[in-house]
Amino acid sequence: MKRVISLIVCLLLLTQNALASKSAVLIEAGTGQVLNEQNAHDRLPPASVTKVMTMLLIMEAIDSGKIGMDDLVTCSEYAATMGGSQVYLEAGEQMPVSEMLKAIAVASANDACVAMAEHLCGTEEAFVKQMNERAAALGMKNTTFCNTNGLPDPNHLTTAYDIALMSKELLKHEKILPYLGIWTDSLRNGAFGLANTNKLIRFYKGANGIKTGSTAEAGFCLSASAIRNGMQLIAVVLGAPTSKERFAEATELLDYGFANFEIADGVDTTQVLANVPVLKGVSAEVALLPQTSFSPLLPKGKKDAVTQVTEIPKSVLAPIEAGQELGQVRFLLDDQEIGCVPLVAAETVQKLGMGESFLRICRAWVVAKQEK
């Protein structure tokens, strides 16, 4: 399927004008498929788009139960000295995690980033180490973080493609979405107003994030996301000459994606796609679930041409372990496979013991005799 998409992308790109931004990429969030790009792997300063990773680590800490939204975070003297975009935290001032997260997502607060880093890891340096470790785990091969907020540093570099990867991961955390979609809000019981610098949130249909950034060194940067008809796209632009151009070029990329691609019906890990008889097991059958979720990304107009073929055995022999692969569902487009998802056992089925086997034989004999 990637060959089909790549060919279509190449043909469509022939009609595209070069972007003014130094680097750009458009991906579909579910598959990670690149739909459009320009110098997507060039290492460049990301400015405050860095905070996508900062927010990701915060959300992972929240979702794991390490911290809670109501936990109070104390601003250190060091965090209060960050400068740049900030919410003017004072040393010793406390805010709940939820407010710190709002300050980062909406106001791009450098001071809140450091305060959260210290709250989670003790020092900003330890948090930055985690940022780089998480980047490596996500496959961000050309990224080096030196701070939590994107303030200028000659070694603080990433790529449009790497930013798309961490943006894709951040969007998996549903609790962050309301913050990314805020247009205006406030902190300190309404005393401090907030306004989102991501204009697409207000003016682009389906926009739901993510983060702007700008410095003299980085130019104007943006990781923009939008969802329409079940398809989530992420457009990243780095080094745009002006703020107006970064939004225009992100819009151009998103428009391109929504105009040329669509998502077909797929499967998710909660769907029972089949029940298979179990021989010599304590249960008579076992349910099969998709091992991973999958929804095919297709050129526009091909959605109804996709077929699903489920391949499973007539029966399986106990014992069966939960998660054991027992079949597959194949996705076909014009008789060509575009995806394949393993089907796995939903639960463990133990092998039937001798005693239970004897009892079942006796019960069957009694039932058969009664039926006569």
Residues with a catalytic annotation lie at 48, 51, 108
The pair of structure tokens assigned to 9 is: 């992308």
Could you give the 3-state DSSP secondary structure of residue 319?
coil
**Whole-number Cα distances in Å, 233 to 1, 36, 96, 168, 207:** 18, 11, 31, 9, 9
**Whole-number Cα distances in Å, 145 to 50, 81, 128, 155, 171:** 8, 20, 7, 8, 20
The pair of structure tokens assigned to 91 is: 């040393």
Helices (H), 64-96: none
Alpha-carbon span 181 to 26, nearest angstrom:
20
**Whole-number Cα distances in Å, 253 to 13, 38, 116:** 11, 11, 33
**C-beta neighbour count of 42 within 10 angstroms:** 16
DSSP assignment letter at 49: G
Alpha-carbon span 54 to 68, nearest angstrom:
16
Cβ 309 vs Cβ 329: under 8 Å: yes
Q: Residue holding tokens 């106990």?
A: 318
Cβ 293 vs Cβ 266: under 8 Å: yes
Could you give the 3-state DSSP secondary structure of residue 151?
coil
Residues 6+ apart with CB under 8 A from 31: 295, 297
The pair of structure tokens assigned to 258 is: 């929504």
